[in-house]
Amino acid sequence: MAAQKLSSLPVVNVADGVTNHTNTILNQMSLVTSLSSLLDKVGILVKIGDEVAKIHPYVNFAWQVLSVGFKVVQAQQHRDENILKLVTTMEDTYSFVASTNKLKNQSILQDIVNQILNQTIQCGYFIQQYAQ
C-alpha cells in the first residue's frame, strides 16, 4: 500500500508543476495573442513592401534592411507558440496520467509512466535551453 502511494507521488507532483507552468504561460497568452494580431496586420504590409521593393535594386536593398526586424520577431513568435504547444501537451498528458487510478496496479503501465517522466525531463531541458 505504501509503495503504491509513493509510486504515484512523482506523477502528481510533476503534473502539478506542469500545470503551474502552463497557467503562467496561459496568463501571458493575451500578450502573445495581441502580438500575433499585430504581426498579422504588419505581415500584410510587409508582403506589399516585398512586391514594391522589386521595382529597383536600391529600393529592394532598403526594404530588406527594414523588413528584417519584422521577420525576426515573426520567427520568434512561431518558436514561442511551438514551446507553448509542447507545454500544453505535457500538461494534458500528466492530467490524464494523474487521473487514471489503474496505473497503481499495473506494472506495465508503470513502465509507461517512467518513460513519460524521462521524456518530461528531456522536454524540461529543452525548454530550459530555449529560455536562455
Q: What is the pTM of this model?
A: 0.58
24 touches 16 (CB < 8 A)? no
Average pLDDT over residues 93-113: 75
Residue 56's pLDDT band (cuts 50, 70, 90): confident
Per-residue pLDDT, 121: 87
Average pLDDT over residues 95-111: 74
**CA dist list (Å): 122 to 10, 56, 68, 90, 127:** 16, 49, 33, 12, 9
For the chain, percent of residues with pLDDT exceeding 90: 1
Q: What is the pLDDT of residues 12-38, one digit of tens each?
A: 555 565 666 666 665 556 556 666 677
Average pLDDT over residues 45-65: 78
